[in-house]
Amino acid sequence: MKKILLRYRFGLILLGLGSLVAVGGLDSCKVSEKASMKTGAQLWAENCQRCHNTPSPSTFSHEQWETIGMHMQSRALITDAERDKIVAFLSQ
Amino acid sequence: MRNTAFSRKALFLLGGMVLASATLLAQQTVVDSSLLDRVDELERQVAYKKPGEDHFLLAGLATMGFVASRSTNTLNGVSTVSKTNSFPDGDHYEFSPMLLWRHGKKFLMEFEPSFSDNGLGVNWADVSYFAAPGLIIRAGYFVLPYGMYAKRLAAGWIDKLPTDPMGVADMTPTDYGLEVEGGFGFGTMKMNYDLALTNGNQLNPDGTLSSGNLADNNNNKTITGRIGLLPLLNSSLELGVSGMFGKLGNQGTPQQNLMGRSYAFDLNYVKTFNPILVNIKSQYNIQDIDKTSYINPADQSGYTFNNHTTAFFAQASLRPTGLQNWVKNLELAGRYGTFNTPKESLIGSNQDSWGVGLDYWLSWRTVFKVGYESYTGNSTASKPLGAYTGKTTTNSFFVQFAIQL
């Protein structure tokens, strides 16, 4: 048993961290007011540039931004609320 | 007599008023009818152009350039120098249209064929279901959630330097399977998770791994996962830890229970210290494969080695985004990387490289790069097997253009 635990120690650590994440996710209602009150412009500036330059709103139409928003959400793993606010800002 | 005259006048006045009202009414009707026709026409035009629930988008990227290299190999005290230059820089040329189909706000299909030095291939082909807030379910052929670089930063128009860090992206497979992922906030922090179940890597005869196999070579599935933490309210810092675990050998062979265990740690920090945008990225990969016996292709004899591989890079770039002139379009980048492959194998080598680059951003998604990279590789491959290749140093100059379409 000890040997197995030792062999898979990193996997178990990952599993433990995953469980913490899952518990944290269930308690997502505890997002702070500061975080939930962020505007689309603020979220656009903070999240897009984590990987690339901040995109110009004039690049695409609203329909295109909706599609790109879904694509980018699956890469940057932003929340649904963040995606919707960023898309709304880019669609203006 | 007077009454009769008055009555005639009143009748005349009344008749006049009725006639005038009728005329006005008729004119009003004409005006309204014209307006209604115009509104109908506009409604038809709007209806013709109204967006449906589905949407198709053709995007993509292109990367092309030039490289000139001078390489010196020293083996048994003898040095050999070679010079090459190629148009385009073959290792980094890529033309990849990306097709996105959106079905409402629940389904997204992604397909990215790619023409590169590997020929015509596919970067990913998958369907995502946005099941609930913080839960995306994906099936198909996709980049595994191992580290941060391959999935988020490898595109030419995103990468700050003309090259990829050695080994880092190569150790991240693209594979067939299922994936669940999502992000959520708690307090002032955010977390994200990404978990995949795929066919898994297969062990090659020389101890390296191959991936992206449509048919699984054994009955075991590989689990790959990454957890990311953004501890700061402004999302400027992300720390990630990843793991990948699965059997590698062919079913029914002595190697069928051979396990591969990989771990990756990544860091991403992006923050503006007015007027400079500071961008720091780093990733460390570790890959271990259970010890087994390999066959020497030269004489079919058996040999073994500790199949341990690591790759690392740290990169920083600075861009004066706060300035108001053309200088704000310049970005200076530097990177250090190492890639150590298994000692006493056919491919063993301790490699390191450093590179610098200057980018000029023509737009937020179009960049022109000039870069210089210095590489040193010290072979740690097996001398008895005749695989030892000595020391190699290569200095390369790059010019590259990259665009997202």
Q: What is residue B265's predicted lDDT score, i.e. its pLDDT?
A: 98
* Strand stretches in B212-348, DSSP E: 222-230, 237-247, 259-273, 276-289, 294-295, 302-303, 307-319, 330-341
N-terminal to C-terminal alpha carbon distance within chain A: 60
Tell me: pLDDT of A86 over 60. Answer: yes
> Whole-model pTM?
0.86
Would you call A74 an interface residue with chain B, using a CB distance cutoff of 8 Å?
Answer: yes
Would you call B57 an interface residue with chain A, using a CB distance cutoff of 8 Å?
Answer: yes
Q: Which of A18, A62, A68 lies nearest to residue B225, judging by beta carbons?
A: A18
Tell me: pLDDT of A64 over 50. Answer: yes
Mean pLDDT for the stretch of residues B286-300: 91
Mean pLDDT for the stretch of residues B126-142: 97
Cβ of B100 within 8 Å of Cβ of A67? The answer is yes
Neighboring chain B residues of A35 at a CB cutoff of 8 Å: 185, 187-188, 190, 233
> What pairing do the DSSP bridges indicate for beta strands B276-289 and B391-404?
unpaired
Mean pLDDT for the stretch of residues B3-10: 60
User: What does the CA dihedral B17, B23, B26, B32 come to, rounded to 10 degrees?
Assistant: -90
Instruction: Locate the chain B residue with the closest alpha carbon to A75.
Output: B152
**Are the beta carbons of B300 and B316 closer than 8 angstroms?**
no
CA distances from A68 to B4, B102, B110, B297 (A): 84, 9, 11, 49
From B34-48, B196-210, B309-323, the region with the lowest mean pLDDT: B34-48
Q: What is residue B1's predicted lDDT score, i.e. its pLDDT?
A: 47
Q: Which of residues 115-144 of B touch A (CB under 8 A)?
A: 128, 130, 133-134, 136, 138
What angle (nearest 5°) sits at the alpha carbon of residue B331, between those of residues B329 and B337? 160
Neighbours of A7 (CB within 10 A): 12
Separation of alpha carbons B371 and B395, rounded Å: 11
Residue predicted with more confidence, B121 or B300: B121
Would you call A50 an interface residue with chain B, using a CB distance cutoff of 8 Å?
Answer: yes
Would you call A23 an interface residue with chain B, using a CB distance cutoff of 8 Å?
Answer: no
Neighbours of A13 (CB within 10 A): 13
Q: Mean of the per-residue pLDDT values for chain B?
A: 91
User: What does the CA dihedral B156, B159, B162, B168 come to, rounded to 10 degrees?
Assistant: -100
pLDDT band at B282 (very low <50, low <70, confident <90, very high): very high
Would you call B108 an interface residue with chain A, using a CB distance cutoff of 8 Å?
Answer: yes
pLDDT band at B243 (very low <50, low <70, confident <90, very high): very high
Instruction: Locate the chain B residue with the closest alpha carbon to A15.
Output: B225
Residue predicted with more confidence, B251 or B126: B126
Residue predicted with more confidence, B241 or B17: B241
Closest by Cα among B405, B403, B398, B322 to B361: B403
Neighboring chain A residues of B138 at a CB cutoff of 8 Å: 74
Phi, psi of B367 (to 5 degrees): -140, 145
**Are the beta carbons of B346 and B354 closer than 8 angstroms?**
no
Q: What is residue B301's predicted lDDT score, i.e. its pLDDT?
A: 87
Query: Which helix (H) or strand (E) element contains residue A47?
Result: helix A40-47
Mean pLDDT for the stretch of residues B278-290: 97
Cβ of B181 within 8 Å of Cβ of A32? The answer is no
Tell me: pLDDT of B366 over 60. Answer: yes
**pLDDT tens for residues A9-63?**
555 565 566 555 555 555 445 788 889 999 999 999 999 999 999 999 999 999 9
Separation of alpha carbons A38 and B230, rounded Å: 16
Would you call B172 an interface residue with chain A, using a CB distance cutoff of 8 Å?
Answer: no
Q: What is residue B48's predicted lDDT score, i.e. its pLDDT?
A: 83
Query: Which helix (H) or strand (E) element contains residue B97?
Result: strand B94-103
Phi, psi of B44 (to 5 degrees): -65, -40
Mean pLDDT for the stretch of residues B43-52: 84
Q: Which of A11, A28, A78 lies nearest to residue B245, judging by beta carbons?
A: A11
Would you call B302 an interface residue with chain A, using a CB distance cutoff of 8 Å?
Answer: no
Cβ of B183 within 8 Å of Cβ of A70? The answer is no
Q: What is residue B54's predicted lDDT score, i.e. its pLDDT?
A: 92
Mean pLDDT for the stretch of residues B228-257: 94
Neighboring chain B residues of A36 at a CB cutoff of 8 Å: 185
Cis status of the peptide bond prior to B275, with omega within 30 of 0:
yes
Cβ of A14 within 8 Å of Cβ of B227? The answer is yes
**pLDDT tens for residues B61-119?**
999 999 999 999 999 999 999 999 988 665 688 999 999 999 999 999 999 999 988 88
**Pick among A50, A56, A90 to test the B interface (most B CBs inside 10 A):** A50
Phi, psi of B63 (to 5 degrees): -135, 130
Mean pLDDT for the stretch of residues B50-54: 84
Q: ipTM, 2 decimals?
A: 0.86
Cβ of A36 within 8 Å of Cβ of B152? The answer is no
Q: What is residue B340's predicted lDDT score, i.e. its pLDDT?
A: 98
- Which pair of tokens denotes residue B92? 């980094």
Closest by Cα among B363, B366, B336 to B352: B336
Burial class (CB in 10 A: 0-12, 13-18, 19+), B27: exposed
Q: Which letter does DSSP use for residue B220 in this model?
A: -
Would you call A12 an interface residue with chain B, using a CB distance cutoff of 8 Å?
Answer: no
Would you call B178 an interface residue with chain A, using a CB distance cutoff of 8 Å?
Answer: no
**Are the beta carbons of B291 and B258 closer than 8 angstroms?**
no
Cβ of A53 within 8 Å of Cβ of B51? The answer is no
